[in-house]
Amino acid sequence: MAEIALQQRVCVRRTIGAPASEVFDAWLDAGLLAKWMKTRAFTHATVACDAREGGGFEIVMQSPGGEIRHTGDYLTIDRPRKLVFTWRSPATGQRDSLVTVEFSGDANTTDIVVTHCQLPADTCGAHSEGWGDVLDLLARLFAH
C-alpha cells in the first residue's frame, strides 16, 4: 500500500461583516453550522457538536447523490481569537488532518483565516475550493 503524503496545506481568507465574537460562535453552534458548513455541491448539512475542548463534532453534508460524513475533535477553543480542530473525512482517508481558524478585526468586521494542514496532496485543490464555499456561505449568514 502506498504511503499518502500528509504534509500539504491550504489557507483561505475572508472578511465577514460581523464582530469576531459572533463569527466565532457560529463555528460552535450546531444549528448555525448546519446553515453554512457545506460546499456548493451539497444541498444541506446536519450537524452535531460537543463544543468544548476535547469535545467533537459530526457534519454530514448531503446532496441528491449521497452524503459525506466529516468528524473531528476540538483541540483549542480560544473565543473569539482561535479555534483548532481535527478533521476526518473520506478525502483525508479518515485520518486526522488539522484545521486552525483565526479571527481578528474590529466591532464591525472579522478577518478570518482557515488553515487546513496534513492533507493528502491530491485533495488540496478540492479542500481550498470547499473552504472557500464554506466561508462564502458563512459571510452570507451575516449579510444584512
Instruction: Please compute the mean of the pLDDT values over residues 123-132 and round it to a whole number.
Output: 94
pLDDT at 40 over 60: yes
Q: Please report the pLDDT score of residue 115 as a whole number.
A: 98
In percent, how much of the chain has pLDDT > 90?
89
Strands in 17-80 per DSSP E: 44-49, 56-63, 66-78
**Cut 0.85: pTM above it:** yes
Domain spanning 8-142: CATH superfamily: START domain (3.30.530.20)
pLDDT at 2 over 80: no
Give how far Cα 125 sits from Cα of 12, 57, 121, 131, 136, Å: 11, 24, 9, 10, 17
Instruction: Please compute the mean of the pLDDT values over residues 55-79 and round it to a whole number.
Output: 96
Q: How far apart are CA 122 and CA 4, in angstroms?
A: 9
